[in-house]
Structure 1
């Protein structure tokens, strides 16, 4: 769960510029509205202590005072003031790794990923093998679509800590995205053996097992899915979490419970936070997330709407509200919510992706394709966005645009298997494909099938065989796909597969490269996955 920061506080903080010394004026204190009296008193004491330090200390000692104040502001979701104080701490004491690490966290929250990366790398120059920094860099690189780079940091973490469940879990998910299901299973099962409560790993493990053809085990794992993930021990972050008073204590407890998948207990804590600080948008947002996890949808909507009323610029609240409307098939309301999130944060790839999916479900394929194009421009390694854009072009009979999107996507993603598959399907359903084209695609698909026997690849091979006039072989492969779909309880997919099997029985090749039921690849990014308390 990554933190996002609500604006229930009116913040007038000056960002310090590099080169400040002990004679530089103090940053202006934040002006606080809607906080508990105990929190206000805590922040007032923090600023008064910093004023005294400014008058009596110099150099590294003054840097430590600024860093300590920054931790308090960080703990209360005051990122601009925390940024200002961390920067002053670094100006006065540039060789303290802790300030660099915590400043990097603020940079991530402010959307400054490149600057955060630089700071994390500087931490590693000071502490070559620092587990929290290696994990943070891995997570950051995954979020910006650089899985290979992310993997290098997680492997370093694993070399340092061979029983690191977080590293094993991340490497498992990276292997899954790289279409290496057996490696993914190996990593994820090892992570779960070390951290059995990490229910968030059950779903990716299920996907990997499904790709290997272990349908029953896959279903069992998917049913056990949750939101708890293994985490690296992080004393610096623990200090931030332990700093607050008042409602923030309940928020922090609730966040921990939420991360462990204990949603009933998390709801209790978030309700306490709302009672203690009814004007806290963060408390209402987190309560909404817990209620959504408990499938109390109408109550969750009310909490998200209250969070938005208190903080209209809460991207997460708008996004999560959109996800709930989409789950209720209220696509227009979902789009309105995603639009609001994008007005606040235009580069929010998840909101743009979900907006595109809602447009697709409404049949607005051209606009959906344009949105998906923006997603993969923001995240070039996002193979799902490339695939979804190509599928949208197919829906409006722009086959060449779909084909070129697959080609460009293969280059950008390092030959993603699903883009290889869709490219083959487009050729297989062309009016007059050449023998050479079909043979080339079939060779690629057969190579992929040696690594992973997914239903999708099996169906693609059947399409290619039928396009070559090899209908008996096509029927055999289609029947194998049909059995797998029925075994997984996917009667919707089975109905579609039956349609193409009947075509092959009549000696007719497939005509639609990507039937609508196939587009599970374009399912929405989920909401309510994280609470925003640190």
Structure 2
């Protein structure tokens, strides 16, 4: 996609004549724009746009004709043909004067061209019809701030913040107003929070640095100023997204990249997504897909920048927040991972994978009570999620709530049709219980044997050894445990060898296992490729 702030020098040929002081007559159509030096696909796109508009003028009227003019205006707007876009938006409003979309997009062009009063009038008209329209609130507030009306801007930024306490544009605006008014500490608070919700908004680093300096935090101020850049936070804006996504030049590499990605050809996908980002740097989809390809190529550090930029461009980009969380969890930054999952859940409370991964991160932080509550919410929403049941039970075990763990495991077995890992976990709970029920243990041993006849896993082998040791059949337990140790070595699971060997030593001394599910066994984390029922992996594309 082509940036809305870029002007094509090769298009500055000729002019589109407008009726002074107003709209073109309803029966007129602006002359077509000159198409000089364009790629063939773009030229065809613009020619088709004009041809469809001519046809609509002959066959349509009223709101249908307004839509035709508006649709053409979006195409011209997307290619920075501002005067042609303005003429078509004006004609769209002739036929549908109440359209908020055409008013807003026309105001954006007028604002860019310096027609501040006319743009502000249109924004005011929109807010009279819809007082809580976030894109208009931001645009109008920014325009007032730039025009020197800081208090007028503050009113609209505060209205937006009341609607959405996580709105980075609102926090950014209030922070810059506070800075201008000499309220450094207040400015630091607003701008810090804005960067928390829009980390790629590099344009805020400089005012944040100024606020830090004025607050006496000189060293931090210098660090922030060195990170300054051109990007500012955005509010989610479907109308502008439609403009940004309209150019044909970005769609082709995006579609090709998605095809390559689906086929597992990640290097080829990367090349196509890089082309899409070059053509459409303001496309959140292009940035997100580029990040996903980088993740698949084990270049997560580079992917972070792409995901953060996707979030800046589309604050509602749930997938970008989720994928960022996965990357931070992989690198051991659980606090940042939880923050990212929180953002994804704030946008989409039904995002089960984000909730699951958040719970796992809490578990790894030993926050077992909250982790158990989150896992319970996951399995209540998706009762067949075996791993969520297991993780919830493990949290109860960590809290030494053994009876709750046992009953939850039993409930999970019923909900999942005796899923293998829940049967295995139930066996471990019985095997490590201080009060051994031999009849129950013998029955459990039979259940494990039945499962192993279908599929033998390291987890089932280890569970079998635990039950045998609980039955004081230590010789057999040692044999099964040695098989588990050999399997772990063969699978290069060196992370669990110490645990396996520790239990082997206990069996050799005639002692049963005491921990039913050591922390290293609590799989289903946020790592990519953990299998069905887990929190999912990063690196997914969007169309």
Q: Common fold, TM-score beyond 0.5?
A: yes
Q: Which residue of 2 aligns with 1:264?
A: 267
Task: Give me the whole-angstrom Cα distance separating, in 2, the residues matched to 1:387 and 1:54.
Answer: 63
Pair 474,39 (structure 1): closer, same or farther in 2 beyond 3 Å: farther
The CA deviation at 1:358 is 0.8
Find 2:426's aligned residue among 412, 423, 427. 423
TM-score (norm: length of structure 2): 0.55
Question: What is residue 181 of structure 1 aligned with on the other side?
Answer: none
Find out whether 1:444 has 2:433 as its counterpart.
no
Q: Kindly state the Cα deviation for residue 360 of structure 1 after the two structures are TM-superposed.
A: 0.9
Q: Distance in 1 between matches of 2:473 and 2:539?
A: 47
Question: What is the CA deviation profile of residues 322-347 of structure 1, one whole-angstrom value per residue up to 9, with x for unaligned ones?
Answer: 11111111111111111000011000
1:23-52 CA distance string (max 9 Å, x none): xxxxxxxxxxxxx98899599679859967
Question: Over aligned residues, Cα RMSD in angstroms?
Answer: 3.2
Q: Give the superposition deviation at 1:394.
A: 0.8
Deviation per CA, 1:198-251: give whole Å up to 9, x if none. xxxxxxxxxxxxxxxxxxxxxxxxxxxxxxxxxxxxxxxxxxxxx982201110
- Is the 2:330–2:526 contact (alpha carbons within 8 Å) kept by the matching residues of 1? no
Shift of 1:348: 0.4
Structure 1 residues 245, 511: closer, same or farther in 2, change over 3 A?
A: same
2:362 equivalent among 356, 359, 363: 359
Q: Which residue does 1:319 correspond to in 2?
A: 322
Secondary structure, counterpart of 2:522 in structure 1: helix
Residue in 2 aligned with 1:462? 465
1:483-508 deviation line (CA, Å, top 9, x unaligned): 11111111222221111111011111
Match of 1:307 in 2: 310
Aligned mates of 2:310, 2:481 — CA distance in 1? 50
Query: What CA distance in whole angstroms lies between the structure 2 residues aligned with 1:331 and 1:412?
Result: 30
- 2:538 paired residue number: 528
User: Is the 8 Å Cα contact of residues 329 and 526 (structure 2) preserved in structure 1?
Assistant: no
Which ranges of structure 2 fall in alignment gaps of 5 or more residues? 5-40, 79-245, 528-534
Higher relative contact order (CA 8 A, sep 6+): 1
**Matched-pair contact (CA < 8 Å) for 2:42–2:248:** no
C-alpha distance in structure 2 between counterparts of 1:43 and 1:411, whole Å: 60
Q: Is the 8 A contact 1:259 1:530 kept in 2?
A: no
Look up the SS of the partner of 1:246 in the other structure: helix
Following superposition, the deviation at residue 441 of structure 1 comes to 0.9
Structure 2 CA distance for partners of 1:530 and 1:448, relative to 1, 3 Å: same
The correspondence for 1:400, drawn from 387, 399, 403, is 403
Confirm or deny: 8 A CA contact 1:39 1:245 kept in the other structure: no
The correspondence for 2:345, drawn from 342, 348, 351, is 342
* Residue 99 (structure 1) aligns with: none
Mapped pair 1:375 → 2:378 = yes
Q: Tell me how many residue pairs correspond in the alignment.
A: 320
Sort the Cα spacing of 1:357 and 1:43 in 2 relative to 1 into closer, same or farther, 3 A: farther
* Distance in 1 (alpha carbons) for counterparts of 2:51 and 2:402: 62
Q: Which residue of 1 aligns with 2:145?
A: none
CA distance in 1, matches of 2:373, 2:459: 25
Q: Tell whether 2:512 aligns with 1:502.
A: no
Q: Distance in 1 between matches of 2:43 and 2:312?
A: 24
Q: For the residues of structure 1 that align with 2:441 and 2:320, how far apart are their CA atoms?
A: 48
1:529 Cα deviation after fit: 3.1
Q: Contact conserved, 1:286 with 1:532, CA < 8 A, in 2?
A: yes
The equivalent position to 2:520 in structure 1, one of 517, 520, 531, is 517
Q: Note the alpha carbon deviations across 1:278-325, whole angstroms, 9 max, x for none.
A: 111111111111112222222211111111010010000101111111
Alignment TM-score, normalising by the size of structure 1? 0.56
Distance 1:259 1:423 in 2: 39
- Rounded Cα–Cα distance in structure 2 between residues aligned with 1:46 and 1:467: 82
Q: How does 1:378-393 map to 2 (within 5 A)?
A: 378-393=381-396
Paired residue for 2:490?
A: 487
Alignment-derived partner of residue 149 in structure 1: none
